[in-house]
Amino acid sequence: MSDVLLQSLITGVTIGSAYALVGLGFAIIFNVSDVVNFAQGEFVMVGAMSAVSLLAVGVPFAVALFLALVIAVCIGLILEKFAIEPAKSATVVSTIIITIGASIFLRGLALLIWGKDFHSLPAFSGETPIHIGSATLTPQSMWVMGVTAVLVFLVHQFFNRTITGKALLACSANPIAASLIGIPVKRMMLFAYGLSALLGGAAGLLIAPIAFTSYDAGMMLGLKGFAAAILGGLGNPMGAVAGGVVLGVLESLGAGLISSGYKDAIAFIILLLVLFFKPQGFFGKAGEERV
Amino acid sequence: MTSLIDPLLKVSGLSCRYGKVTALRGVDMEVNTGELVTIVGANSAGKTTLLRTLSGVLPRYKGSVFFAGEDITKMPAHRRTELGICHVPEGRLMFSELSVADNIQLGAYAHRKDVSWLKKGSDDVYDLFPILKDKAADPAGTLSGGQQQMVAIGRALMGRPKLLLLDEPSMGLAPLLVADIFRVISQLNKDGMTCLMVEQNAKAALKIAQRGYVMETGAITLGASASDLLANEEVRKAYLGH
Ligand SMILES: Nc1ncnc2c1ncn2[C@@H]1O[C@H](COP(=O)(O)OP(=O)(O)OP(=O)(O)O)[C@@H](O)[C@H]1O
Ligand SMILES: [Mg+2]
């Protein structure tokens, strides 16, 4: 394998891991409520920007990361409690529009708090890369891939092995039957938004040392995560993860082999192609009856 | 002690609306511990609405519901499940994409911390419906109507019901299966389960019930022992087909 190819692969899987986490968040919320939460990207931004601010005021690194995650989760909970839940009788489409509104609101709020400057976090553990041929693998890349793998594994176990995870799936499969067996559907919805925000916030923290973050960084990442979820078949969490990694690799191959100018365009061309030719996604079995 | 004398379920003046449509108008009824009570009534009489209001998934408009002496009128659905009101819904309402085993396990959601019950309860369900054991790993949506009804009953039993609500358990089933399902329900009742069952198949329902109510356009119009209802001329004409 040529080194350019290997390097593109490493870069692609790294950034693709972030897309995977965001896509996973999309899939979870879609799974429990059939809603595409377009504020998903803002969780990423809130996580990264909060950590930047906390570090700036002298909070120790690990504590800052932890608090930033807490803040992202709180934003997710507040979004559900005060924007989604009050509109419970709204149609799915109206609810999606509410999430778009919420994302614009959060971006505006971020602009007020943090201004337009670009920020980044220091790498979690040094900058000394490992050389593989002439390709390099940075410690931060390993953090991104490693933490993503752990989170994805935990989410997978949660949905497949725990009764709470299955109860979340039950809420989407049949909310009335779920209430009838004693599942507090409203509370589960809150939980789903919190979990999605946690994953988004984690993605933000992980890639903030690699990619610059700013008040509007959530928009692009949100759309990439959405593309990942679509690629994997909305409503299929593990499909979204695979979709994210595939998207990241294609993007970075495209940037490496053609031109980096096409990087963002690649995601959207893929998104459009998938929506047009294979709207149920590539890994989606759940998708077929939903779309 | 009082719960042995008082009815287990006491419904007084219960009304319910969908927007401007009134679906229940002042329903009074009760179920005593150990009884199998059936409600018969034509389409759209409000039977499903009544059961859903009892489960707490529909808000009531007026009236009260007491369960084991406790006022549960305003209690949310998941708390009522914890008290032991379990519901086999009309149309079965499977979690289609989840496996049969998951559907059954989820029925014990209110008792999810009780690991020994999760095991014992599902063993009991598979003893009651052995065929489900072979299907345990299949998505519930792939089962036949009769098997889905078994899953729905099993799922409700996992909630350790003190009162089992059954909404048209025979709906859409082949005659042979209908007899099976009624036999199971009758046996559950003989083993001590208190049941409130809504049925269009009035004859079969009244045969296994001790008491029955007739419901018409949102109100109870008649309540009597099952044998009296079976003998009642008007009931025979309207619901028993002769
Ligand atoms: N979700 C709803 N929104 C509006 N009206 C409803 C709704 N559900 C039921 N209704 C109306 O309430 C009335 C009672 O309906 P319900 O389903 O309780 O009757 P039922 O006795 O269970 O009928 P069936 O034998 O067909 O199951 C009907 O007039 C019905 O049209
Ligand atoms: Mg009905």
DSSP secondary structure of A199-244: HHHHHHHHHTTTS-B-TTHHHHHHHHHHHHHHHH-TT-HHHHHHHH
pLDDT at A258 over 90: no
Mean pLDDT estimate for chain B? 94
Angle at A193 between CA A16 and CA A100, to 5 degrees: 75
Closest to A249 in 3D by CA, of A143, A145, A155: A145
Spatial distance between the Cα atoms of B115 and B99, rounded to a whole number of angstroms = 19
Show the CA angle centred on residue B32, arms to residues B31 and B33, nearest 5°. 125
Mean pLDDT over each residue of chain A, to the nearest integer: 91
Residue nearest to atom 3 of ligand 1 (CA): B18
A181 and B76: CB-CB below 8 Å? no
* Model confidence pLDDT, tens digit, residues B39-51: 999 999 999 999 9
SS3 B138: coil
Is the distance from CB of A199 to CB of A247 less than 8 angstroms?
no
Confirm or reject: Cβ of B16 under 6 Å from ligand 1: no
Q: Which two tokens stand for residue A25?
A: 């968040």
- Per-residue burial over A90-126, b if 16 or more Cβ lie within 10 Å, else e, is eeeeebbebbeebbeebbeebeeebeeeebebebbee
- Measured over the CA atoms of residue A157, residue A158, residue A159 and residue A164, the dihedral's sign is positive
- Dump pLDDT digits (tens) for A96-121: 999 999 999 999 999 999 999 999 99
Other CB atoms within 10 Å distance of the CB of residue B181: 19
Closest-CA residue to B129 (of B115, B117, B143): B143
Domain ranges of chain A: 2-116+138-277
* Position in ligand 1 atom list of the atom nearest CA B90: 27
Tell me, what's the pLDDT at A287?
38
Q: Give, in order, the Cα–Cα distances in Å from B108 to each of A166, B66, B116, B184, B195.
A: 12, 23, 11, 20, 18
Gap between the Cα atoms of A213 and A135, Å rounded:
25
Is B95–A182 a contact, with Cβ atoms under 8 angstroms apart?
no
Whole-number Å distance between alpha carbons of A141 and A4: 17
Model ipTM? 0.93
CB-nearest to B95 from A174, A182, A286 is A174
Q: Which residues contact A19 (CB under 8 A, 6 or more apart)?
A: A221, A224, A225, A227, A228, A243, A244, A245, A247, A248
pLDDT of residue A36: 92
Using CA atoms of A229, A231, A233, A234 in order, give the dihedral in degrees to the nearest 10: 30
pTM over 0.80: yes
Distance from CA of B242 to the nearest CA of A (A): 36
Ligand 1 pocket residue status of B51, Cβ below 6 Å: no
> What is the nearest CA distance from A200 to chain B, expressed in angstroms?
27
Would you state the torsion angle of the CA atoms of residues B221, B226, B232, B237, taken in this order, to the nearest 10 degrees?
Answer: 80
Report how far Cα A52 is from the mean position of its chain's Cα atoms: 19
Q: What is the mean pLDDT of residues A49-54?
A: 96
**CA-proximal residue: ligand 1, atom 4 (nearest):** B18
CA of A176 to the centre of ligand 2 (A): 14
Query: Model confidence at A1, in pLDDT bands (50, 70, 90)?
Result: low
Containing B220, the helix (H) or strand (E) segment is: strand B219-225
A2-116+138-277 is a CATH 1.10.3470 domain: yes
CB contacts of A164 in chain B (<8 Å) are 112
CB atoms within 10 A of CB B14: 24
Chain A CB within 8 Å of residue B156 CB: yes
- Reported as a pLDDT band with limits 50, 70 and 90, residue A284 is low
Say yes or no for a CB contact (<8 Å) between B102 and A166: yes
Given a cut of 80, whether residue B77 has pLDDT beyond it is yes
In this structure, what token pair is assigned to residue A110? Answer: 């971020």
- Name the residue of B16, B18, B221 whose CB sits within 8 Å of the most ligand 1 atoms, as the mutation to test its pocket: B18
CA B95, CA A185: separation in Å to the nearest integer? 14
The Cα angle at residue A19 between residues A236 and A24, in degrees rounded to 5: 30
Q: Decide: A76 and A40 in contact? Cβ < 8 Å.
A: no
With a 6 A CB cut-off, is B41 part of the ligand 1 pocket? Answer: yes
